[in-house]
Amino acid sequence: MLAAVVFSVVLVVSCVHAQDEPSPIVFTPTFGTLMGGDELVFTAPNITSSGGQVYCRFGEVDQVTVAGGVGPDGLTRCVTPVLYEIGRVPFQVSTDGGSSYSYGANFTAVLGRSGVTLVDGNSKWQRPIKSATSPLDLPAWRELIRGQLTMTWDRDSLDSAAVNVELWGYKEEGSVASWDFMYSVARQVPNTGSYTFSPESKPASEYHIGSIRVTAYTEQEGLTNIRALWSKVHALAWQLEESFYQDPVSWSTERCMAWREQEKEMPDFVPDMPPCPCTLEQALADTGRFQMDPGCSLSLGSTCTYHPGAVHCVRSVAASPDGAGQQCCYAADGRELFTGDTAGGSTPDRGHAFGAPPYRNPPRVPDFSHWLLDVVTFYYCCLWSDNCDVYFELRPTDDCSRYVPPKAGAVFGDPHVITLDGKSYTFNGKGEYTLLQTDDVSLQIQVRTAQVSNAQGDLVQTTACTSVAMREGVSDTVEVRLPRARESEVPQVLVNGEVFRFDTSVMTLSGLKVMSIVPSNVTVHFLSGVGVEVRSKGGVLTALVLVPPTLKGKTQGLLGRWNDNPDDDFTTPSGDTVPSTADQMTIYNDFGASWAITSQTSLFVYSAQEEATYADKHDPNFTPIVTPPALPAESAEGRKMAQICGENDQCVFDFTATRSEALAASTRWAHDWYQAVSKDTRKVATCPYVPTPEHGSKVGGPSYVENGTVTIACNEGFMSHPTHTVKCRADGTWDGVPGTCVASNANTAAVAGGVIAGVAVLCVVIGLLVWKMRDDKESTRSEDYKHDDKRESTQET
Q: What is the pLDDT of residues 210-267, one digit of tens each?
A: 999 999 999 999 999 899 999 999 999 888 888 888 888 999 999 999 999 999 999 9
What is the per-residue pLDDT for 796? 36
> Is residue 23 predicted with pLDDT exceeding 60?
no
Rg over CA atoms, the chain: 35
Are the CB atoms for 23 and 45 separated by under 8 Å?
yes
**DSSP characters over 685-716:** -B----PPPTTEEEES----BTT-EEEEEEPT
> Is residue 757 predicted with pLDDT exceeding 80?
no
What is the per-residue pLDDT for 30? 63
Which pLDDT band, with edges at 50, 70 and 90, does 133 fall under?
low
Q: What is the pLDDT of residues 678-702, one digit of tens each?
A: 999 999 999 999 999 999 999 888 9
- Of the candidates 706, 558, 614, the one whose C-alpha atom is nearest the C-alpha of residue 430 is 614
Helices (H), 237-346: 242-246, 248-264, 280-285
| Type of residue at 54 | V
Backbone angles phi, psi at 730, to 5 degrees: -65, -20
> Is residue 391 predicted with pLDDT exceeding 80?
yes
Contact partners, residue 540, CB within 8 Å, separation at least 6: 412, 413, 452, 464, 465, 466, 482, 663, 666
> Is residue 455 predicted with pLDDT exceeding 90?
no
Which pLDDT band, with edges at 50, 70 and 90, does 59 fall under?
confident
Q: Which of 303-312, 678-687, 760-769 has the highest mean pLDDT?
A: 678-687
Q: What is the pLDDT of residues 76-125, one digit of tens each?
A: 888 988 887 777 777 888 888 888 888 877 777 777 678 999 998 777 88
What is the per-residue pLDDT for 510? 82
What is the per-residue pLDDT for 752? 43
Better pLDDT: 56 or 564: 564
What is the per-residue pLDDT for 107? 72
> Is residue 50 predicted with pLDDT exceeding 60?
no
What is the per-residue pLDDT for 411? 98
What is the per-residue pLDDT for 790? 34
- What is the dihedral sign for C-alpha 103, 104, 107, 113? positive
Which pLDDT band, with edges at 50, 70 and 90, does 147 fall under?
confident
> Is residue 445 predicted with pLDDT exceeding 70?
yes
Q: Tell me the mean pLDDT in the region 624-642.
A: 93
Better pLDDT: 30 or 297: 297
Q: CA–CA separation, 130 vs 302, rounded Å? A: 20
**Residue percentage of the chain with pLDDT more than 70:** 86
Four-point Cα dihedral 657, 660, 663, 667, nearest 10:
50
Lowest mean pLDDT among 177-181, 511-515, 761-765: 761-765
Q: CA–CA separation, 761 vs 42, rounded Å? A: 96
